[in-house]
């Protein structure tokens, strides 16, 4: 079996040599093989460069997102909470937000059905240490909005 494999390898090497060293078309074939090898090398370089750029961009984006999402001070955290209120309660103007050292105090009034979601959403925000819920109690949802 080993002799047969050696014979096949020698035959393949001889055929490749004849193909590339042919006096009529060998020069063109060698140039074409060289050009294909160079093109393949360029493709590998381009692939590696694109992957490295993609990884660097993702790292840069993650750092920017981390830096941009974490409030630098209480005023910025308060502004972010105020900007989310419109998505959390029907009347955001009736909710007061006070922030001190990452501790958020919510006061004012909102529908009872909205208060739990509001407190949960504010608690999940980056930079919030604790939420103190002082929202007005005893308000029920208007009949047109309540579901039975």
Q: How far apart are CA 92 and CA 76, in angstroms?
A: 18
Q: 9 is written with which tokens?
A: 């390898």
Output the average pLDDT for the chain.
84
Q: pLDDT for 77-116, tens place per residue?
A: 899 899 998 889 888 899 999 999 889 999 998 888 889 8
What residue ranges define each of the domains in the chain, with the CATH number in brackets? 2-66 (no CATH), 74-135 (3.30.300.130)
**Does residue 145 register a pLDDT over 50?**
no
Q: How far apart are CA 41 and CA 17, in angstroms?
A: 23
Sequence-ordered list of residues with C-beta below 8 angstroms from that of 114, at least 6 positions apart, any chain: 88, 89, 90
Collapsed DSSP state (helix, strand, coil) of residue 82: helix
Alpha helix locations (H) across the chain?
A: 2-20, 26-69, 74-88, 112-123
pTM, rounded to two decimals: 0.47
Q: pLDDT for 119-136, tens place per residue?
A: 999 998 888 889 999 987
Helix (H) or strand (E) holding 96: strand 95-100
Q: Which of these ranges, 44-58, 65-79, 100-114, has the smallest mean pLDDT?
A: 65-79
């Amino acid at each position: 079996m080993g002799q047969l494999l050696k014979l096949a390898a020698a035959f393949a090497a001889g055929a490749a040599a004849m193909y590339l060293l042919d006096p009529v078309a060998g020069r063109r074939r060698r140039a074409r093989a060289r050009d294909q090898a160079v093109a393949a090398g360029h493709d590998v370089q381009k692939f590696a460069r694109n992957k490295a750029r993609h990884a660097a961009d993702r790292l840069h984006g993650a750092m920017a997102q981390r830096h941009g999402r974490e409030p630098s001070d209480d005023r910025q955290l308060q502004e972010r909470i105020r900007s989310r209120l419109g998505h959390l309660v029907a009347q955001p103007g009736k909710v007061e937000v006070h922030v001190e050292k990452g501790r958020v105090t919510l006061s004012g009034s909102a529908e009872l059905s909205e208060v739990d979601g509001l407190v949960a959403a504010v608690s999940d925000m980056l930079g919030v240490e604790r939420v103190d819920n002082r929202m007005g109690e005893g308000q029920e949802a208007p009949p047109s909005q309540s579901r039975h």
